[in-house]
Amino acid sequence: MTYQHILVPVDGSQISFAAAQQAISLAKAFNSQLTAICLVAEDPFSGADFYYNASMMKEYLEEANKNALKALDQVQQFAAAEGVALTTEVVHGYVTAETIIDTAEKKNIDLIVMGSHGRKGFKKFFLGSFAQDVLNQTTLPVLIVKE
Q: Confirm if 147 and 22 have CB atoms less than 8 A apart.
A: no
118 versus 103: which is more confidently predicted?
Answer: 103
Q: Is 86 helix (H, G, I), strand (E, B) or coil?
A: coil
12 in Cβ contact with 70 (< 8 Å)? yes
Amino acid, res. 90: V
CATH number of 5-120+129-145: 3.40.50.620
Question: pLDDT per residue over 31-82, tens digit each?
Answer: 999 999 999 987 655 555 555 566 777 788 889 999 999 999 999 999 999 9
9-36 tens-digit pLDDT: 999 999 999 999 999 999 999 999 999 9
Domain residue limits, the chain? 5-120+129-145
Entry pTM: 0.87
